[in-house]
Chains A and B, each alone.
Chain A
């Protein structure tokens, strides 16, 4: 037997992909399609939950033959890209959805925190919502009665506890939701991306609570994009990719392997038609290089040394005497963050071949975690030649280089500066 808490045995989950509708060529055919539509639609809807022929090409394996075991009292991490199957796995273990094949065993009461404040209703007071959310998470009214004061205190919204939730700020809602979750008594807690919300202080509070929970001998299963948090909290992790289990073991090794596997950032830049400029000289490709591993990537750890490689080719100009390249960095909401330009560094790019690569190296890339969009522009011999928006999306991952457990997140501003402190 052994003292396991969760035992996953060859779990697979299938979904059906949307299939492109057949287009009709004639009026007659389209009338026929309209008449056939109800039968066709019915079949499509029916098939969403029925799988008979596994060789059908529109079947998608969200998870494939996943097996692992989590020990009692262990904090366990799941790492993987978007779409790797992390959330599906959590949903199966929380019994929200059923696996198509395989089985899992769970010892003890399980509670899943896939979202903060599930079941909150804007027309109820904060107090009523504590009961609503608490019972949804599997607590009884008695348990909540007993802890109500502590929950309210922990949430820090005492003054507003009897006003309707719709008058709460989004931050207050998150606090209230997390406060309820913090007082759950289940033996196993499943957490998904909860830490992605709230300000840094709040996130620290959450992490602290989770460490607390883990030290009480309860089991935690944790999914997050914050690799720092996974490393701090979980000793062991599994790495998922495209629904398959790639590796399992020490969290540090898994995070390393995850970062190394991000080697797919080759944008089909040469195919892009939405360009501005005369087109005498054009960009053909852009790559982001992580200088630690010397590999192309789209995910970088905040504070690492990176390079942008810009591939260009000249269509008309024989001589490239003076090239000016600009890389503009925007946040995901298109807020302008910064701009890199060779003229800023007094670098003349002249006497170049008709086609080649320009490198722009940035040390200690200071962006905090999030997704960034890159636009690039090119002037050659004084003429604006090429400009493309959103050539690259860069995902930056939080780092904790000082091992303080005090991450640098959105609410501490937009950039992370290298710093050193001492009394003087």
Chain B
């Protein structure tokens, strides 16, 4: 491979790299401590000098859920499969907040960090990756609220919980795939930055957050599940409500996000070489 460090001989060849190349794992491992500190930096910086601090991680999804519960649960009477709408919606808000937060933060991350990018070399993928990793803290905090809600509504998830880690991997894969794509694009095309907030808001209605996938007619359901967030969100519901796991959708979600991830990572690598020139 071109443009990489051969650690054994410690000789680096610097030249214009080939158009498409895959992630350089050796280098990612070599710089892993940087990833850790970039993530810590992201977390600390976000909640610095804020009165409510990490409470924001609870306030944001919880209040959105309360509003949705009033609008869609009470007024529009959206079917929540017999589950209290508040819980039905909040379970979906967990992965959704992670997904949308990662997308908005990561897509501008490279542009925001252009001072670092133009001054020193390191695996550029760490910038959007650390933005995504930092989001797990918010996720963990909101997760505590979910546990409280489960106790309040006296719901026992049962054995489905063992599949939870699988869904977390899927969620991270989907989020990273889009984050890599959009962050690399936004370096050259700042339109991404302008469009992202808007896009994320729209996407909410293309995912089963305020409604259930089961309310879509059976003929279209599987097509709908091509949206990788469908498998993740319905998977979350099944895990915490103890209903049947929608394995078909989860498999689809994994496949779609894996393909998307491979493409995005390759695109990111391809764009990476010009980041310092156009950032």
In the complex with contacts A15-B277, A48-B277, A138-B122, A96-B117 CB distance below 8 A:
yes
- Asked if A110 is at the interface of the complex by the 8 Å CB criterion, the answer is yes
Q: Which of A67-98 contact B (CB under 8 A)?
A: 91-98
Q: Which of A45, A95, A109, A128 has the most CB of B within 10 A?
A: A95
Interchain Cβ contacts under 8 Å between A and B, 15 examples: A45-B188, A45-B189, A49-B274, A49-B277, A91-B276, A95-B121, A97-B273, A98-B274, A103-B14, A105-B13, A105-B14, A106-B12, A119-B116, A123-B44, A123-B45
Docked CA distance A61–B103 (Å): 37
- Asked if A148 is at the interface of the complex by the 8 Å CB criterion, the answer is no
- Asked if B163 is at the interface of the complex by the 8 Å CB criterion, the answer is no
In the complex with contacts A123-B44, A124-B44, A136-B34, A94-B10 CB distance below 8 A:
no
Q: Which residues of B contact A46 (CB under 8 A)?
A: 188
Docked CA distance A123–B278 (Å): 28
- Asked if A135 is at the interface of the complex by the 8 Å CB criterion, the answer is yes
Distance (whole angstroms) from the CB of A325 to the closest CB of chain B: 46
- Asked if B76 is at the interface of the complex by the 8 Å CB criterion, the answer is no
- The number of inter-chain residue pairs (CB within 8 angstroms) is 116
Distance (whole angstroms) from the CB of B36 to the closest CB of chain A: 7
Q: Which of A46, A109, A119 has the most CB of B within 10 A?
A: A119
In the complex with contacts A123-B45, A128-B40, A96-B118 CB distance below 8 A:
yes
Contacts from A to B (Cβ < 8 Å) = 15, 42, 45-46, 48-49, 91-110, 112, 114-115, 118-119, 121, 123-124, 128, 131-132, 135-141, 164, 187
Docked CA distance A164–B49 (Å): 11
Q: Which of B107-152 contact A (CB under 8 A)?
A: 115-122
- A100–B188 contact, CB under 8 A? no
- A118–B278 contact, CB under 8 A? no
Distance (whole angstroms) from the CB of A45 to the closest CB of chain B: 5
Chain B interface extent, by class: 35 or more
Docked CA distance A94–B3 (Å): 12
Q: Which of A98, A105, A121 has the most CB of B within 10 A?
A: A98
Docked CA distance A219–B89 (Å): 60
- A110–B33 contact, CB under 8 A? no
- A103–B276 contact, CB under 8 A? no
Distance (whole angstroms) from the CB of B79 to the closest CB of chain A: 42
Q: Which residues of A contact B36 (CB under 8 A)?
A: 135, 141
- B14–A95 contact, CB under 8 A? yes
Q: Which residues of B contact A131 (CB under 8 A)?
A: 37
User: Which 3 A/B pairs are nearest by Cβ-Cβ distance?
Assistant: A103-B15, A123-B48, A49-B274
- Asked if B164 is at the interface of the complex by the 8 Å CB criterion, the answer is no
In the complex with contacts A45-B188, A104-B14, A108-B10, A96-B37 CB distance below 8 A:
no
In the complex with contacts A48-B278, A131-B37, A135-B37, A107-B122 CB distance below 8 A:
no
